[in-house]
Structure 1
Amino acid sequence: MGYKRKSWKHIAFVFLLSFSLAVIASLGTEILMRKTNIFLALVLLLVIITINIGFDIIGIAATAATEKPHHAKAANKVPGARQTVFLVRHADTVANFANDIVGDVTGAISGGMSASIVLEIIRTYPTLEAHEIWISTLLIALVASVTVTGKAAGKTFAIQKADEIIGQVGSLMARVEDLTGWTVTDKKRKGGKRSGDSRRN
């Protein structure tokens, strides 16, 4: 019964987080696209695709990284080392957030942006309306192929450089925690409750 309650709470949390991120990101990109030209819209689309690929790399690196190389740094209080150990210990949660939540949300947004860009192209160049289906097909295919290719290349990189990548993410988290005073990586401080199984390799 306790497991079921925890499972439903996790599902509800993932739903609410995904919904919130999707609303914020979709609204933001929609507002930006309405105020930019086609070229800047394409640049924004590329940024969304890059975020998708980048978080996929982080999720894979978290599952491939090991704690051992970072323990000595954490003992010596090297900035970011404690956060890195936390990320590796909670690799399943990190991967779920990076690969599933951020990955799926940015994937959906890039698809919607592609459709909006096609409509803007047709509006700007009415003579291309007869070719709308081809323009739409080619742009969506290009977005899909760039995303898939980027993730494929990123997977190899993430596995080979897992400890270095997750170490950089840990350092970034340390800077954010120092600036905001809020943390999820230290159970002794606000927002620092530990969850999940420890991975010691």
Structure 2
Amino acid sequence: MDIKIKKSLRFSLTIAVITFVLAAIFSIISSSILSGVIWFIGLLIVFIIVFIGVLFDTLGIAATAANETPFHAMAAEKVNGAKEAVAITRNADKFASFCNDVIGDISGIVSGNASAIVILQIANLFGNGDGSTLHLVLSVVLTSFVAALTVGGKAIGKTLAIHSSTNIILFAGKIVAILESKFKIRVLPDENKKDPS
């Protein structure tokens, strides 16, 4: 089997496992948080989850749209985050896959689950449980609103990502630099390390 195909399959399997673990963690956390708060706070949490999905979708698109060249010039001038921005653009496919497919899709699933909890809380507040007319109306209205917010937000994010990819990826590079230097969390592959393939 070709080495590139093997690497691609290994990466796909790794991403699938990471997605499974993160989806489980986020679902448990969101469900436990939402069960202990009033519906208004729950709705705010749903919007935060949607925003996270839109933000990561924007980062993923920006990584694929960004040109590596400006970051080399910035890195030569010792601009903070430029070296990490180079690494992001060199690994744009993996970075975009993580941002769009892992975090973006998990956010969509978790926001749907969170919306269902909020809908039930609002319906119970009015003494109408699961299956009532109010529950059905709330379900349709809120899920449609969350879907519209997600799709509309991602559309705006894509426009920003394409037209401001350099600024967005430099910002992402600065965040990665903080994570790697201050918190010792390795986010990107080591550019100095030789690829065995």
TM above 0.5, yes or no, is yes
User: More deviation in 151-160 or 175-184?
Assistant: 175-184
Q: Which runs of structure 2 are paired with 1:31-46 in the superposition (5 Å)?
A: 31-46=32-47
Gaps (5+ residues) in structure 2? none
- Which whole-Å deviations, capped at 9, do the CAs of 1:99-138 have from their partners, x for residues lacking one? 1111111100111111111111122211483321111011
Q: Which residue of 2 is the match for residue 186 of structure 1?
A: 190
Counterpart residue identity of residue 115, structure 1: A
Cα 1:195–1:115, aligned 2, differ >3 Å: closer, same or farther? farther
| Aligned mate of 1:147, from 136, 140, 150 | 150
> Could you tell me how far 1:2 is from its partner in structure 2?
4.3
Counterpart residue identity of residue 73, structure 2: A
Q: Which residue of 2 is the match for residue 177 of structure 1?
A: 180
> Could you tell me how far 1:182 is from its partner in structure 2?
3.8
1-side partners of 2:18 and 2:157: how far apart? 25
Q: Which residue of 1 is the match for residue 58 of structure 2?
A: 57
- Which whole-Å deviations, capped at 9, do the CAs of 1:124-153 have from their partners, x for residues lacking one? 211483321111011110000011011111
1:85 aligns with 2:86: yes
1-side partners of 2:81 and 2:95: how far apart? 16
TM-score (normalizing by structure 1): 0.89
Q: Which residue of 2 is the match for residue 199 of structure 1?
A: none
User: More deviation in 150-159 or 121-130?
Assistant: 121-130
State whether residues 185 and 194 of structure 1, in contact with CA within 8 Å, keep that contact through their aligned partners in structure 2.
Answer: no
State whether residues 54 and 150 of structure 2, in contact with CA within 8 Å, keep that contact through their aligned partners in structure 1.
Answer: yes
Cα 1:123–1:193, aligned 2, differ >3 Å: closer, same or farther? farther
Q: Which runs of structure 2 are paired with 1:6-155 in the superposition (5 Å)?
A: 6-127=7-128, 129-155=132-158
State whether residues 185 and 193 of structure 1, in contact with CA within 8 Å, keep that contact through their aligned partners in structure 2.
Answer: no
Cα 1:194–1:47, aligned 2, differ >3 Å: closer, same or farther? farther
SS of 2:182 mapped into structure 1: helix
Counterpart residue identity of residue 162, structure 2: I
State whether residues 87 and 170 of structure 1, in contact with CA within 8 Å, keep that contact through their aligned partners in structure 2.
Answer: yes
Counterpart residue identity of residue 65, structure 1: A
Counterpart residue identity of residue 190, structure 2: D
State whether residues 65 and 162 of structure 1, in contact with CA within 8 Å, keep that contact through their aligned partners in structure 2.
Answer: yes
| Aligned mate of 2:162, from 149, 159, 164 | 159
1-side partners of 2:116 and 2:45: how far apart? 14
Cα 1:26–1:62, aligned 2, differ >3 Å: closer, same or farther? same
> Could you tell me how far 1:179 is from its partner in structure 2?
1.1
> Could you tell me how far 1:154 is from its partner in structure 2?
1.2
TM-score (normalizing by structure 2): 0.91
> Could you tell me how far 1:6 is from its partner in structure 2?
2.8
- Which whole-Å deviations, capped at 9, do the CAs of 1:60-94 have from their partners, x for residues lacking one? 11011111111122123222110000001111111
State whether residues 67 and 89 of structure 2, in contact with CA within 8 Å, keep that contact through their aligned partners in structure 1.
Answer: yes
Counterpart residue identity of residue 96, structure 2: A
Aligned length: 193
Cα 1:111–1:86, aligned 2, differ >3 Å: closer, same or farther? same
